[in-house]
Structure 1
Amino acid sequence: MSLHPTLQPYADAWTHSIEAIAELVGPLVEADWNRRTPCPGWSVRDIVSHVIGLDCEMLGDPRPIHTLPRDLFHVTNDHQRYMEMQVDVRRHHTAPEMTSELEYTVIRRNRQLRNESRDPGTKVRGPLGAELTLEESMRGHAFNVWVHEQDLRAALGSPGNLDSPGALVARDVLLERLPEVVAGRADAPRSSAIVFDVHGPVEFLRTVRVDIQGRGTVETTPALGPAATLTLDWETYVRLACGRVALESVQDRVKAEGDPELTAAILRHFTVTP
């Protein structure tokens, strides 16, 4: 038995991103591990710790028994507390300890993927005990690791891989969440259409149509006379959607046409990651 074809793109995306991360952090001196990243409260070391922790949980390892300090002001909810555990337990690890654990974890995960024969619909445990299908779990994991690769690249001044296999997974994940942004959070008018025109390493033109019941769907067909059109580059789209940047700092990279109140509401609610 081998990995189901449905799962292979997510395994490939993870492999590409994790190898890029290992290559990025391998030569870093100790001080570089303390550089700030776009994730509030997290350094380069913290991002790598988080990635290691995510993969350890994919392997089924027990979570660390650890008490978080009370002065972590960026930790404000249960989801953040859950994610912080794997990070804080490694906060005093040295650079060689970090790279060694990353390398060992990648070896173990590669072995797991080579032996993976379960059906994509198999139920597995996700973060905070949530029940997911194996496909949902691997897809979300590929997305997370690529986003964190981009966090590290931003912190280290080493841009790249904006069109990698992980980027294509991220595109699909973020597009799936657009209807909730437009129809749910921004409360776009019923029977309206909003166009997203994204250019750069990953290009797409998508229309979110809101039906008479207020439900949104993503379509590939362009809309005639949309209520609003948002044009931006792929990197800015990702940074906004993942909450890595404030709108005010990239406003000049976003072209908004149509109903100004609607476009403002969409952009205000654009972040879809926890």
Structure 2
Amino acid sequence: MTPAESHQEDDVPTQATEALRADRSALLDLCAGLCEADWKTESGCPGWSVQDVVAHMGALFTSVVAPGTLPDTAGLATERAQDVHVEFRRSWSAAQVVRDYASVSTQAIGALERLATVDRQLDLGDLGTHPAALLPNAFAFDHYTHIRADLFAPRGPLTGTPPPSDELRLTAAIDWIEAALPQQNRKLLAGLSGSADLVLDGPGGRTIKLGAGGRTLRVAGDTASFVRWITQRGSWEELDVTAYGDPEQAALLRRLRVW
């Protein structure tokens, strides 16, 4: 049973799906202004062009409403499976990629909204096990990160102003990070002695506590920078992140990664 089939009540907008809908609109506006050379330019996601990034986001939506139309990736890690889905679409034109994205995203966001009232856990493999209602946040996080960090400068090739990094988008993205971080970094966090606070300022701001016992480290920065460093798309120095406390524990936290 796919998420699209799991509930039959009317769609219920949530903050995450509203954030996702806002970034969907922004991405379609962006795509409308790209030239052929833009589409083929390498993005900030190694091995993927700008077109590949958009194709990936379309494939991700397809996994919600029509997973049987995607290549079989059983047994593969999430990121390798995503590579396979992108490779499958490399023969498509940019226009095909945009048409597919525009169509499937509308269906998928509706399906994701219905998950808000589904009370069960989803085993998402190496992404972790999460409440069904949190799945829209994973999609919002994926869109937020790829658009701003992989398509736009300084990491990506596109100039101009990216979509807003506002309360709506950042709250949705960081809700996913906060839930996924402990599961996706279990082995790394086992080496943490005491506890650490990640103190995040700005839209969607909060303090994320890691570990147990007395605090040995405090890491401070803004929420937009946090998304970049926790996805390994920027260093603490580049993003003006400050650590107070045990330098060995700080070195460990630098290696945290959420996807």
Shorter-chain TM-score range: 0.7 to 0.9
Q: Determine which of 240, 246, 253 is the counterpart of 1:266.
A: 253
TM-score normalised over the length of structure 2:
0.77
Contact 1:2-1:117 within 8 A present in 2 as well:
no
Counterpart mapping for 1:142-153 below 5 A: 142-150=140-148, 151-153=150-152
Partner of 2:145, secondary structure, is: helix
Query: In the TM superposition, what are the counterparts of 1:45-84 in structure 2 within 5 Å?
Result: 45-65=51-71, 78-84=77-83
Q: Residues 111, 204 of structure 1: CA spacing in aligned structure 2 closer, same or farther, 3 A cutoff?
A: closer
**2:147–2:162 Cα contact (<8 Å) kept:** no
Q: Name the structure 1 match of 2:84.
A: 85
Matched, 1:238 2:227: yes
Following TM superposition, the consecutive aligned residue runs of length 4 or more in structure 1 with deviations greater than 6 angstroms are: none
Residues 64 and 85, structure 1, Cα contact 8 Å, conserved in 2: no
Q: Counterpart amino acid of 2:226?
A: Y
What's the counterpart of residue 6 of structure 2?
none
Supply the distance in 2 between the matched residues of 1:255 and 1:124 (Cα, whole angstroms): 35
Q: What one-letter code is carried by the residue in structure 1 that aligns with 2:143?
A: V
Structure 1 SS opposite 2:143: helix
Gaps of 5+ in 2: 1-8
RMSD, aligned α-carbons: 3.3
TM-superposed deviation, 1:113? 6.2
- Kindly indicate whether residue 163 of structure 2 is the aligned counterpart of residue 160 of structure 1: yes
Q: How far apart in 1 are the matches of 2:109 and 2:216?
A: 47
TM-score (normalised: structure 1): 0.73
The answer for the alignment partner of 1:197 in structure 2 is 199
Residue pair 2:218, 2:245 contacting (<8 A) in 1 also: yes
Q: Equivalent residue of 2:15, what SS?
A: helix
- Is the Cα–Cα contact under 8 Å of residues 182 and 188 in structure 1 kept in the other structure? no
Q: 1:243, CA displacement in angstroms? A: 2.2
Identity %: 22
Structure 1 unmatched runs, 5+: 68-76, 212-224
Q: Of the candidates 178, 192, 195, which is equivalent to residue 188 of structure 1?
A: 192
1:208 aligned residue: 210
Other structure's SS at 2:165 match = coil
- The offset of 1:234, in angstroms, is 2.2
Larger Rg: 1
